[in-house]
Amino acid sequence: MTEYQTNVPTDTETVQDTVWEQQTAFIDSVPRWIAMTFVFLAFIGTWQLVTSLELVSPIILPTPMETLEDMIFVGQNLLTNGYMLGALWITVQEVIYGFALAIAIGFSLGVLVGETAFGERAVMPYLVAIDTMPKVAFAPLFVAWLGFGIESKVALAAFIATFPIVVGTAAGLHAADENARMLFKTMGASRMQTLIKMKLPTGLPQIFTGLKIGAVGVMAGAITGEFLGGGKGFGELIRVAASQLNTPRVFSLILYLSVLGLALYLVVQWTQRRVVFWQKETVVSHDG
Amino acid sequence: MNIAVAHNYSGAPLGAPVYELTHVSKTYARNLVVALQDVSLTLTKGSFTSVIGSSGCGKSTLLKIMAGLIPPTKGRVTLQNQPVTGPRRDIGMMFQQATLFPWKTAVENIVLPIEIRDGKAAAKKAMGKAHELLEIVGLKGFENVYPNELSGGMAQRAAICRMLITEPAVLLLDEPFSALDELSRDMMNMELQRICREQDATAFLVTHSIQEAVILSDDIVVMKPRPGRIAEVVTVDLPRPRTLDMMTTPKFGEIVDRIRSMLDKGEDM
């Protein structure tokens, strides 16, 4: 708090300090975890209210307690090496292979499009055209080409995740400013040197943004692939549970899946902080 | 500070011609736009030359030709008796922005020109020299600091070191301190003078500031636009080393006024 002293000279009166009452928004004085817990409890409370008043049929929406019980059951199954762990492992594999494939293809195409005039003029229009298609609609094709195993799911996951990586890489390669380009020219740098020592490092923040969007897409792709192409993954468990109207199971499986998705996202973010150490945090957050 | 890093860069004696432009012209858009018309200029060893003129007078074009970034349409450009046909090791350049790369420390940024031209091993060998240069510009202790932690003025000091690391025969300065506040700018100009004198450097400065040109230069090339050409070369006969106090002397004011009136005349054309 700042104190401002008035400089009016007074001999007899006692001088009053001009102290401003600092205004702080209420939310700033509440610790973040308390605020988050509050929102969580409000959500669960509303959910509980809706179910206990039977505003919705219990078949459509289970109670929070039923969902929690099922989560514990699924958790036990996963921890005791049950059949669900096998299903989860299949989905994890699809996600990892799909992401790796998307990174390899997306990065290569991104460099082609971002660095060469040929790529930008001749390849980019096709990429934009394909990107505007509803990519999920390709799932039956992938099943027809690659079968009901994990290959078709890997393909769909990679297919969805590739485009944001292409765009991120291409945008990153354009991020270097005129000064940096001119500087590299005056140093007599070759095209390859300019790409590797200047354009790529400059574009890393954009590339990682593409990777983060891709990480979200790869999860969606793997699960959609399992819905539409069968197999033995976690998506299949959800589909079966839904067809049996076992909604608590559907909810708890989705929650476990979101943990997987979050883990993948955090791995990318962690890598970004290590690799792009000079980048200022741009996350929207109060306490940084 | 008497650290002799690279005395006598070009090997030529003081006063000998280092950079020569003879009847240089540059036209764009199929000879429709004349950016530069018949420019002849000689920079002598150890001299400081500034070019000043309103926008469109072709000074950036001139600088790019001198840096070997673009070819002239007509005329001869030679540095140390070798025609300039592209970027060269003996041309050092500095821009308005320091353009340090945030993933490299100060010394790593400084040895970058060596890394690009001679590879990583040579860059490693040049580290010692980079440390000495940092000491010359007053950045001792900041060797392993990343650019994000440097102020604007400190970043430009590091950029000076990067320019000097290859021991260039000529320094091309493209408004190097115009992004700094006025106080740092004056200080950096005095630093620049000191460094140039210590290294016997031949310098060529593009600037918008008449005061800056007068306080630093031996010769000031006044250019006029449409087509870009040299209007006059003004010799500044203030004694060396220059000090900031000189900016208040009548003689300084006289030269500034003279150049300003030339530039004003150029505006009417």
pLDDT in tens, B64-110: 999 999 999 999 999 988 999 989 988 999 988 889 999 999 999 99
Q: Which residues of B touch A197 (CB under 8 A)?
A: 112, 115-116
Q: Which residue of A has its CA nearest to B98?
A: A179
CA A11 centroid distance within chain: 66
Shared domain for A91 and A215, answered yes or no, is yes
- Given a cut of 90, is residue A98 above it in pLDDT? yes
Is A216 an 8 Å CB contact of chain B? no
Spatial separation of the C-alpha atoms in residues B127 and B106, rounded to whole Å? 11
pLDDT digits (tens, 9 = 90+) for A133-171: 999 999 999 999 998 989 999 999 999 999 999 999 999
Q: Which residues of A touch B91 (CB under 8 A)?
A: 186
- Is A42 within the bounds of a domain? yes
Q: Do B102 and A189 touch (CB under 8 A)?
A: no
Shared domain for A143 and A25, answered yes or no, is no
pLDDT at A1: 44
- Is A67 within the bounds of a domain? no
Shared domain for A20 and A93, answered yes or no, is no
pTM, full prediction? 0.82
Of B91, B102, B116, the CB nearest to A278: B102
Q: Out of A41, A61, A81, pick the residue that ends a domain.
A: A61
Is A179 an 8 Å CB contact of chain B? yes
Neighbours of A288 (CB within 10 A): 5
Shared domain for A90 and A216, answered yes or no, is yes
Shared domain for A133 and A2, answered yes or no, is no
Secondary structure percentages of chain B, helix, strand, coil, to 5:
35, 25, 40
Q: Which residues of B touch A182 (CB under 8 A)?
A: 69, 95
The answer to whether the CB of A159 falls within 8 A of the CB of A97 is no
Of A180, A193, A277, the CB nearest to B116: A193
pLDDT at A175: 92
Is A175 an 8 Å CB contact of chain B? no
- Is A68 within the bounds of a domain? no
Q: Which residues of B touch A278 (CB under 8 A)?
A: 102-103, 146, 148
Which domain does A87 fall in, by range? 73-275
Shared domain for A38 and A180, answered yes or no, is no
Q: Do A278 and B86 touch (CB under 8 A)?
A: no
Q: Which residues of B touch A180 (CB under 8 A)?
A: 99, 101
Supply the mean pLDDT for chain A: 88
Of A177, A189, A277, the CB nearest to B116: A189
Q: Which of A181, A186, A274 to mutate to test the interface with B (most CBs of B within 10 A)?
A: A186
pLDDT at A281: 61
Q: Which residues of A touch B115 (CB under 8 A)?
A: 197
Shared domain for A54 and A166, answered yes or no, is no
ipTM score over 0.95, yes or no: no
pLDDT at B1: 40
Indicate which CATH number applies to the domain containing A136.
1.10.3720.10
Of A177, A179, A187, the CB nearest to B117: A187
Shared domain for A49 and A103, answered yes or no, is no
pLDDT at B269: 44
Spatial separation of the C-alpha atoms in residues A251 and A284, rounded to whole Å? 29
pLDDT digits (tens, 9 = 90+) for A170-220: 999 999 988 899 999 999 999 999 999 999 999 999 999 999 999 999 999
- Given a cut of 70, is residue A265 above it in pLDDT? yes
CA angle (A140 as vertex; A135, A143 as ends), nearest 5: 115
Neighbours of A84 (CB within 10 A): 20
- Is A281 within the bounds of a domain? no
Q: In sequence order, what are the residues at sequence separation of 6 or more whose Cβ sits closer than 8 angstroms to the Cβ of residue A137?
A: none
DSSP string, chain A: --EE------SSSPPPPEEPPPP--GGGGS-HHHHHHHHHHHHHHHHHHHHHTTSS-TTTS--HHHHHHHHHHHHHHHHTT-HHHHHHHHHHHHHHHHHHHHHHHHHHHHHHHHH-HHIIIIIHHHHHHHHTS-GGGGHHHHHHHH-SSHHHHHHHHHHHHHHHHHHHHHHHHT-S-HHHHHHHHHTT--HHHHIIIIIHHHHHHHHHHHHHHHHHHHHHHHHHHHHHH--SSHHHHHHHHHHTT-HHHHHHHHHHHHHHHHHHHHHHHHHHHHHTTTSPP----S--
Q: Which of A179, A183, A202, A276 to mutate to test the interface with B (most CBs of B within 10 A)?
A: A183
pLDDT at A68: 93
**Overall average pLDDT of the B17-33 stretch:** 85
Shared domain for A5 and A110, answered yes or no, is no
Is A207 an 8 Å CB contact of chain B? no
Q: Which residues of B touch A187 (CB under 8 A)?
A: 87, 112-113, 116-117
- Given a cut of 90, is residue A44 above it in pLDDT? yes
Number of domains chain A contains: 2
- Is A139 within the bounds of a domain? yes
Spatial separation of the C-alpha atoms in residues B260 and B257, rounded to whole Å? 5
**Overall average pLDDT of the A91-118 stretch:** 95
User: Beta partners for B77?
Assistant: B21
Shared domain for A145 and A238, answered yes or no, is yes
Spatial separation of the C-alpha atoms in residues B46 and B8, rounded to whole Å? 9
Shared domain for A77 and A54, answered yes or no, is no
**Overall average pLDDT of the A257-263 stretch:** 92
Q: Which residue of A has its CA nearest to B174?
A: A179
What percent of chain A shows pLDDT beyond 70? 93
- Residue B49, SS3 per DSSP: strand
A/B interface, count of CB pairs below 8 Å? 47
- Is A4 within the bounds of a domain? yes
Q: Do A183 and B86 touch (CB under 8 A)?
A: no
Question: What domains are defined for chain B?
Answer: 25-267 (3.40.50.300)
Q: How distant, in Å, are the alpha carbons of B45, B145, B156, B206 from that of A176? A: 35, 22, 19, 24
Q: Do B116 and A188 touch (CB under 8 A)?
A: yes
- Is A66 within the bounds of a domain? no
Q: Which residues of B touch A179 (CB under 8 A)?
A: 95-97, 99
Give residues 62 to 121 of B whose Cβ lies within 8 Å of A: 67-69, 86-89, 91, 93, 95-97, 99, 101-103, 112-113, 115-117
- Strand pairing report for B17-28 and B33-44: antiparallel
Q: Which of B63, B64, B116 to mutate to test the interface with A (most CBs of A within 10 A)?
A: B116
For chain A, how far is it from start to end, CA to CA, in angstroms?
A: 21
- Strand pairing report for B202-207 and B48-52: parallel
- Given a cut of 80, is residue A10 above it in pLDDT? no
Q: Which residues of B touch A207 (CB under 8 A)?
A: none
State the amino acid at position A196 in one-letter form. Answer: I
Distance (Å) from the C-alpha of residue B103 to the closest C-alpha of chain A?
6
- Is A165 within the bounds of a domain? yes
Shared domain for A5 and A40, answered yes or no, is yes
Spatial separation of the C-alpha atoms in residues A220 and A208, rounded to whole Å? 19
